[in-house]
Chain A
Amino acid sequence: MAGEPDPDEEATSNVSASTEKQLPPPAVLEIEPVYEALGHSRRRYLCYTLLEDTEWSLTDLATKIAAWENDVSEHEVTENQRDRVYVSLYHAHVPKLVDESVITFDEATETITTAEHAEQVMTALEGLGASLDANQETHARSEMDE
């Protein structure tokens, strides 16, 4: 009879306080492009190279990735090594990243350029730095800071 509904009131006020918390803007919560873009080592490497420069020719990218995968310098990459990477970029990874709006691809010049979702992908990648060759990351960062 004399019971004051204190606990209930407390609970109610907690709930309302938590719902008043500010949610991050929707764009930040849109992480699907990040997962999709970073789900393969060649796409991660491609996104790393975008930290260095926002525009690349497909052949240059293929040469860079082949050098990294085969642990040789870029001028030591064989035609076969480059071709293998080139076709996987052209037929799988580049169209995938175009679908996720991370890059655009100009078919006539075979040039890759960053697109609207590139920034969040590269931000996530920088946070995950350890998953790739550390030298490459250092290299990418040093050229970006200049």
Chain B
Amino acid sequence: MSKRTDDGIMNGDGSTSTDTHWSQLAQRHYEPNGQGELTTALVFAIAEAKGVSPPEVKSPPVYESVDIPAIEDAFFGPDLAGDSRQGVGTVEFQYTNYLVKVRSDGWIQVYEPTEADLS
């Protein structure tokens, strides 16, 4: 079994990039207008998936895996007129061996590969 530690992968069509099967471990809703940051919500979701407390999620920093401010701008930031963007889609990337999806409706989902499909 190969452990993938790629940098971020973004797929426009919302599909995963390989034939690997994934099972969802955790999900969390990010409130764009709330006090928290997307990075925080994401790390809390990853921590839940790993079964650890959020500060125990260490290397690598999410900063090195994916451009979070770009996702915030694309999905949750204001447009030029100051209204909220109506972007619709999902950004997927891998963080260590987890697959993370951030949806434009604010849902963050964390998956792990299932090992049943090693055909």
Contacts and interface: CB of A to CB of B under 8 A. Distances in A.
The size class of the interface chain A forms with chain B is: 10 to 19
Contacts, number: 43
A88 B43 CA distance: 8
B12 interface: no
A95 B61 contact: yes
B62 interface: yes
Contacts of B68: 92
A122 B40 CA distance: 26
B52 to A, nearest CB: 12
Contacts of A94: 61
B69 to A, nearest CB: 8
A87 B54 contact: yes
B28 to A, nearest CB: 12
A87 B63 contact: no
Given A90-B58, A95-B63, A95-B64, A69 B37 contact: no
Interface string B49-74: 00001110111011110001000000
Contacts of A69: 35
Contact of A87 (B35, B55, B59, B64): B55
